[in-house]
């Protein structure tokens, strides 16, 4: 989720908590992808990169 201003971010987060909107994630994959669309059911891990920015990663086992 990207918001230009903090007030916009707070409002978006409020709407998610109140189930007025929901999040969908887009995933970049490598290799051949047979179907145009596919559902990926993987765990998300929130962490920080070397610059201190928060990032979310998919964990593939």
Domain ranges of the chain: 1-31
User: Would you call 27 helix, strand, or coil by DSSP?
Assistant: coil
Task: In whole angstroms, give the CA distance from residue 9 to residue 37.
Answer: 28
Residue 33, φ and ψ in degrees, nearest 5 = -125, 105
Name the token pair of 50: 């070397």
For range 32-48, the mean pLDDT: 82
Give the pLDDT score at 11. Answer: 94
Q: What pLDDT shows up at residue 8?
A: 94
- Residue 20: predicted pLDDT: 94
Q: Taking a C-beta distance cutoff of 8 angstroms, is the pair 58, 41 a contact?
A: no
């Amino acid at each position: 989720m990207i918001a230009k201003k903090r007030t916009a971010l707070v409002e978006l987060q409020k709407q998610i908590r109140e189930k007025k909107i929901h999040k969908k994630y887009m995933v970049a994959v490598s290799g051949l992808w047979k179907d145009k669309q596919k559902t990926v059911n993987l765990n998300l891990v929130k962490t920080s990169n070397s610059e201190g920015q928060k990032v979310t990663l998919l964990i593939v086992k």
